[in-house]
Chain A
């Protein structure tokens, strides 16, 4: 069963804690992305990675960190420096030479 998986579906965090969101794909896509979705604001790009061991900041990278040690995996860490982390987080990937991005099911993070 191919696709993009994100876990967990729902995540609760206390203020001051770091938390890591998982994103895995078995589509053999080179590029992977993390977006944040807030009501009425569309999607905003946090980080992206075009190849293993390389990643770039997006429009709202402050308070977030990523790694890309394997082609299949692109985990996102929401650090305590992120002032307003409650949001819906979406991971996406795209095949080589294509602008079309394919999305995972998302993780809803709530800070208590």
Chain B
């Protein structure tokens, strides 16, 4: 079955330190990969996506993600965390099984990032 795993329910990091939020997926073929962020009682905001090409993708608010095909991973990273980065982060995958039609997004369960001053 197609799935997305975010193995950590919560990640704690000190402000100014680098952060990593992990994501692995189980989808055949060449999926598109996404990261979204959600602040309390708000909708999801798009951060970045990987389609093809360079394995390091840069997105909004200084975030980047590294695609690793052999490990089927798409980890979210930031060189220096801010307290304002504290939020819920979702990894999502589009399997791309239907060309020209609807391609669903499969979401992970989310990882709560807590950045401490």
A6 contacts which chain B residues (CB < 8 A)?
A: 43
Q: Is the CB of B109 within 8 A of A40?
A: yes
- When the two chains form the complex, which single residue of B34, B42, B43, B107 contacts A42, counting CB atoms closer than 8 Å? B107
Known: A42-B107, A42-B108. A105 touches B49 (CB 8 A): no
User: Which of B12-20, B63-71, B73-81, B98-106 is the contact stretch?
Assistant: B98-106
B57 to chain A, nearest CB (A): 13
A106 to B105, CA, bound (A): 18
Q: How large is the interface on A (under 10, 10 to 19, 20 to 34, 35 or more residues)?
A: 20 to 34
- At the interface, yes or no: A101 with Cβ under 8 Å from chain B? yes
Known: A40-B109, A45-B104. A99 touches B42 (CB 8 A): no
Q: Interface of A with B (CB < 8 Å)?
A: 4, 6, 31, 40-43, 45, 48, 50, 56, 58, 88, 90, 92, 99-106, 108
Name 26 A/B residue pairs within 8 A (Cβ), A-sorted: A4-B43, A31-B102, A40-B9, A40-B110, A41-B109, A42-B107, A42-B110, A43-B44, A43-B107, A48-B104, A90-B43, A92-B43, A99-B32, A99-B34, A99-B96, A99-B103, A100-B34, A101-B105, A103-B36, A103-B43, A103-B45, A104-B43, A105-B42, A105-B43, A106-B41, A106-B43
